[in-house]
Chains A and B, each alone.
Chain A
Amino acid sequence: MDDEKITVTVGDDHVADVKGVAKQLEGAGMHVDQVLDAMGIITGSVPADRRPALERLPGVAAVEAEQTFQIAPPDADIQ
């Protein structure tokens, strides 16, 4: 099964230990790319069937599919 890119938000009660939450996420099957300490956010990927397990971990406030953004090309009048 293909991995899904995800963004994990760490809850206020665990924001002092973002790295600890990241370890828990890895233990539950997530591949962690970035641990953003100041934001309390962890990015990475996970097999889709394992995503529900991440949402149940202590300190995990939300697991969201990664959003992509696209601005207009350089020659567009409206950007």
Chain B
Amino acid sequence: MPHTNGGRPDANGSDATLSDQTGEFTGRYLVVFNDELQSDARGMNQALQSGAGLSSVASTLDFEEGALDPEQTESADATVFAALGVAVVSADPTEAGALSALEADPRILAVEPERIQYAIQDVMVSVDYIRGYRDGVLNLYEQLPVSPEQETEADIAALFADNASSTWGLQATRASTSAKTGAGVRVAVLDTGFALNHADFVGRPVISRSFVTGQAVQDGHGHGTHCVGTSCGPKTPPGGSRRYGVATNDTILVGKVLSNQGSGSDSSILAGINWAVTNQARVISMSLGANVRQVSQAYETAGQRALQAGSLIIAAAGNNANRAAGNVGFVGMPANSPSIMAVGAVDANLRIANFSARSNPVGGGKVDIAGPGVAVYSSWLMPTRYHTISGTSMATPHVAGVAALISQATGLRGMALWTRLIQTARPLNVPSVDVGAGLVQAPQ
């Protein structure tokens, strides 16, 4: 049987095992019962009384709503937490033999000394000490014969790479193996429009509208078509291309809010959000932003009201970093709104992209999650058909597509969908100011 001799004093009273452990102890012992006795308060009481000769046993079942009365339990030899299948036993030296008897009971999994727990406090270390430590480490780093980056580039192949069946981004997000397709979920992409004549989307229903005065939905830039491809591209592109789309069977909403020249304004973007929410888009993907640190009340309010209506807005953190030159950039508007999910970009080694903006210290200006955003292959204007580019704009529709898969799998929307995306992200060995919760992951 699994039986832990959890550091209790042995029969002659020596304390050898306890001295091997760190921490402080209360002098009481925790007795852990197996599944057979868990929730069976009477069974636990009997095991304690008959096995260890403990006469006075209090149980959480004796108290209202399972809450203990400390005064009543103080006088008892043992207290049974029925719902947990755990008892706390007071053990003065004369009861050492009693504890041995408990350990011999096959229904008892472990007898462990009760520890004193403390609330975690701030580490009190002086700034000067930490500065000295930093300088020392930097000095060591500079003396390395080969820089770690060079070594990494030369010696380690990329973690992920495009192959004949799918892009590296679909593999890294596990979208390529997901059983979900986004069926029944509406995903709106607010961008430069879409190549409605694209050969990979023949027969796929697209609901579209232009919010750019004097320009049709048809994409004259390419950016919007690339983003629609990543979030909503087909499972098997006709013509033999590798797969590049995450949610292969969602309902596509295309709102043209940026012109063919790549420019737009609040009035077109907010009108696009309003249209997408009214048309019950569960996910709104916005690969756009301005290098403005301040949070816009209009976008923050739009984000909140969209969430309340069951629509999650996901936006690009921005490309204003140049990390190689020491500039980490900042999350811009509208991704810096607390109620809009900000997406950073990682490469095929799951490292932060050189251009990917870092969290902005304003409230809400943090990067929430990351997506594949370097060398991303997706659809482009016909007849070019496909194009490989980089940017937080490319990471964003990966997250939007995965959000559609999660929403299909769970029925979640709005804030609950946001929470699930964060909970299921893959932690990365990258600071959270750059990638938030980590790399977005598709349900399987």
Q: Do A and B bind each other?
A: yes
Which single member of B263, B274, B298, B394 contacts A68 (CB below 8 Å)? Answer: B263
Kindly provide the distance from the CB of B378 to the nearest chain A CB, expressed in whole angstroms.
11
Kindly provide the distance from the CB of A36 to the nearest chain B CB, expressed in whole angstroms.
4
Identify 12 new A-B residue pairs, CB closer than 8 A, beyond the known A39-B301, A69-B264. Answer: A7-B267, A9-B298, A34-B267, A37-B274, A39-B274, A61-B297, A67-B265, A70-B262, A71-B223, A74-B223, A77-B389, A79-B391
Q: Does B206 belong to the interface (CB within 8 Å)? A: no
B302 touches A66 (CB 8 A): no
Q: Please name all residues of chain A whose beta carbon is closer than 8 Å to the beta carbon of B296 when the two chains form the complex.
A: 7, 64, 67
A interface footprint on B269-308 (CB within 8 Å = 1, 0 otherwise)? 1110110011000000001111010001110011001100
A69 touches B298 (CB 8 A): no
> Given A7-B298, A79-B390 in contact, is the A66-B223 Cβ separation under 8 Å?
no
Smallest CB-CB separation from A37: which chain B residue?
B274
Q: Does B377 belong to the interface (CB within 8 Å)? A: no
Which single member of A5, A8, A70, A79 contacts B393 (CB below 8 Å)? Answer: A79
A62 touches B222 (CB 8 A): no
A interface footprint on B253-270 (CB within 8 Å = 1, 0 otherwise)? 000001000111111011
Q: Does B319 belong to the interface (CB within 8 Å)? A: yes
User: For window 209-225 of chain B, which residues contact chain A by CB distance below 8 Å?
Assistant: 221-223
A79 touches B267 (CB 8 A): no
Q: Does B244 belong to the interface (CB within 8 Å)? A: no
Q: Does B355 belong to the interface (CB within 8 Å)? A: yes
Kindly provide the distance from the CB of A58 to the nearest chain B CB, expressed in whole angstroms.
17
Q: Please name all residues of chain B whose beta carbon is closer than 8 Å to the beta carbon of A40 when the two chains form the complex.
A: 301, 305
Q: How far is the CA of A40 from the CA of B303 in the complex (A)?
A: 11
A residues contacting B by CB (< 8 A) are 5, 7-9, 15, 33-34, 36-41, 43, 61-62, 64, 66-74, 76-79
B221 touches A74 (CB 8 A): yes
Q: Please name all residues of chain A whose beta carbon is closer than 8 Å to the beta carbon of B274 when the two chains form the complex.
A: 36-39, 41
Smallest CB-CB separation from B384: which chain A residue?
A74
Kindly provide the distance from the CB of B286 to the nearest chain A CB, expressed in whole angstroms.
10
Q: How large is the interface on B (under 10, 10 to 19, 20 to 34, 35 or more residues)?
A: 35 or more
> Given A39-B302, A64-B296, A68-B290 in contact, is the A78-B319 Cβ separation under 8 Å?
yes
Q: Does B399 belong to the interface (CB within 8 Å)? A: no
Most chain B beta-carbon contacts within 10 A, residue among A34, A73, A79: A79
Smallest CB-CB separation from B274: which chain A residue?
A36
Q: Please name all residues of chain B whose beta carbon is closer than 8 Å to the beta carbon of A68 when the two chains form the complex.
A: 263-266, 290
A67 touches B292 (CB 8 A): yes
22 CB contacts below 8 A, A to B, read A7-B296, A7-B298, A33-B267, A36-B274, A38-B277, A39-B273, A39-B305, A62-B301, A64-B266, A66-B267, A67-B296, A68-B265, A69-B263, A71-B263, A71-B287, A72-B262, A72-B391, A77-B390, A78-B390, A78-B391, A79-B223, A79-B391
Q: Please name all residues of chain B whose beta carbon is closer than 8 Å to the beta carbon of A78 when the two chains form the complex.
A: 319, 355, 389-391
Q: Please name all residues of chain A whose beta carbon is closer than 8 Å to the beta carbon of B231 when the two chains form the complex.
A: none
> Given A39-B273, A67-B266, A69-B264 in contact, is the A79-B394 Cβ separation under 8 Å?
yes
Q: Which 4 A-B pairs have the closest CB atoms?
A: A62-B297, A36-B274, A79-B391, A43-B267
B277 touches A7 (CB 8 A): no
Kindly provide the distance from the CB of B181 to the nearest chain A CB, expressed in whole angstroms.
27
Q: Does B249 belong to the interface (CB within 8 Å)? A: no
A9 touches B309 (CB 8 A): no
Which single member of B271, B333, B389, B394 contacts A34 (CB below 8 Å)? Answer: B271
Q: Does B248 belong to the interface (CB within 8 Å)? A: no
Q: Please name all residues of chain A whose beta carbon is closer than 8 Å to the beta carbon of B277 when the two chains form the complex.
A: 38-39
B278 touches A38 (CB 8 A): yes
Q: How far is the CA of A8 from the CA of B278 in the complex (A)?
A: 19
Smallest CB-CB separation from B334: which chain A residue?
A67
